[in-house]
Amino acid sequence: MKTVEKTSLPTFPFTAIVGQEEMKLALQLNVIDPKIGGVIIMGDRGTGKSTTIRAIADLLPEIEIVKDDPFNSHPTNPELMNSSVLEQFRNNETIETELVNIPMVDLPLGATEDRVCGTIDIEKALTEGVKAFEPGLLAKANRGILYVDEVNLLDDHLVDILLDSAASGWNTVEREGISVRHPARFVLVGSGNPEEGELRPQLLDRFGMHAEIRTVKDPELRVKIVEERTAFDQNPQIWIDKYQEEQEALRSKLVTAQQLLPSIEIDYDFRVKISQICSELDVDGLRGDIVVNRAAKAFAALNNKTKVDLDDISNIIVLCLRHRLRKDPLESIDSGAKVRKVFNDIFEI
């Protein structure tokens, strides 16, 4: 097995990021269970959204992939292989592997559908006369993180494609007589500034979680953030070394949580009350119920528990439901506070 060396620029350590606890928690839970459905992070400009998302990708351990495979195929899991690797696997052929960093793919605002999904390799078609598939960003993001900055400005059609792939774990492309289906399992992270426009409710609902972040108001905390960023920029390696132990501890905690997740249990009574909260809040569909159950289990796993308790649900309920509420312009209470009030009423807190 070959290990691919890191060649990217230094990344600010995740454990060194001050504040923005909602965003950090949502990212960690989606890493533990990608089936939560990703997270949309909305907030002011310059609040560290991009820095935090890149930091969580850098924190995660390397993954084993089939060498030189553009789809990041898993060498032993058929559900994470492209068709050619799957054929090799079924024929018991030797598959060469390598270790790579977790893929972190940025989707630019001007991206086309072909760039996202993949298209025909024109060069091969012209020079060799063969129809070959050229993988897109969804292939590159398989088993990693796909980050869309200013997602509220992205074309709705592209957002639909991203959400469909994130939900199903597959991308199907049909172009010029070629039909290709490949795994596309990734954590979808979108960020944006609400002042520049909101996502349509139908699209917003399909993100598993919604984190809100605000500019830090405390002057002393602002000074601390500026000083830490300045120190990192002056000598990144010293700063990375300073947080090495904390980074390793959190990395180990996330890996343990991923392993523990399948065994986490949640009582029937809790499941009923979660659905009661969703019903009381008039949440459309059952996506809210499913996400709250998944996120509560992921939070329990993160805290090394084997069973979901009330505290686990309390810590994730707002993240999972605030963006699924119908907006009433005459209502003074914000969506997060409304979710919290209904939660407290139903659990009699």
Catalytic residues: 287
List all residues 6 or more positions away from 26 whose beta carbon is below 8 Å from its beta carbon: 39, 41, 209, 211, 319
Compute the distance between CA of residue 57 and CA of residue 14 in angstroms, rounded to an integer.
9
Cβ atoms of residues 11 and 184 within 8 Å: no
Could you give the C-alpha distances from 129 to 46, 84, 173, 332, in angstroms and in order? 49, 21, 20, 64
Amino acid at 8: S
Compute the distance between CA of residue 261 and CA of residue 299 in angstroms, rounded to an integer.
9
DSSP assigned state of 56? H
Count of Cβ atoms closer than 10 Å to residue 243 Cβ: 17
Cβ atoms of residues 276 and 345 within 8 Å: no
List all residues 6 or more positions away from 132 whose beta carbon is below 8 Å from its beta carbon: 120, 121, 124, 125
Compute the distance between CA of residue 274 and CA of residue 292 in angstroms, rounded to an integer.
7
List all residues 6 or more positions away from 226 whose beta carbon is below 8 Å from its beta carbon: none
